[in-house]
Amino acid sequence: MRKEGRLPGIEDLPRMTAAELQAVHQEMFGAAHPISNCQHLRRKIAWHIQAAKEGGLPESVRQYAIGIARGTELRSRISENASRRQVAIPPDRTATTVVVQTHDARLPMPGSLIVKKYKGRTLVVKVLDDAFEYEGRRFTSLSAIAGEITGTRWNGFAFFELTKESGHGH
């Protein structure tokens, strides 16, 4: 048995019942989990306990996931659509959402670093909300940074290898 208000350790999870796991889920997330599969609950709770202790996903993994998500359209969940049909909600009474891209899909998210090896140097550019930072200076475009580095005109996306074909994971 666990004390109320104290989250269990990962080692406690295998001995917990479905009701105890649901109580922990309620405490951690503010709601009961819709699926009472003990193995699923144990894994979800364990991941969150470990993430809270260890700091969650590394930033590189988060950026990779964001890059994948950026290239996909918002999709309605199949189960939501099926349940709407079961209760006979007419299609004209449902809302369809569209995600509008406000960020150039070729760029990593603001706060990310673009790293490139060039003539024996490692170049590091920080992506800001509406600009870029290179060697402590602010630039409005990657092309301006590429020109600064090479002394010639460059397409910044091409110089930093951020074209759609090459992606972000190289």
Mean pLDDT by 10 residues, the chain (170 residues): 68 91 88 84 88 79 74 50 59 56 76 91 91 94 94 92 59
CA dihedral 61, 65, 70, 75 (to 10 degrees): -170
pLDDT of residue 115: 92
pLDDT of residue 72: 57
- Single out the residue of 45, 57, 51 nearest to residue 13, CA to CA: 45
On whether the CB atoms of residues 141 and 129 are closer than 8 A, the answer is: no
pLDDT of residue 36: 78
pLDDT of residue 170: 41
pLDDT of residue 76: 41
* Environment class of 145 (CB within 10 Å of its CB; exposed 0-12, middle 13-18, buried 19+): buried
Give the span between the Cα atoms of 122 and 143, in whole angstroms: 17
Taking each continuous run of H as one helix and of E as one strand, the counts in the chain are 6, 4
pLDDT of residue 33: 84
pLDDT of residue 86: 58
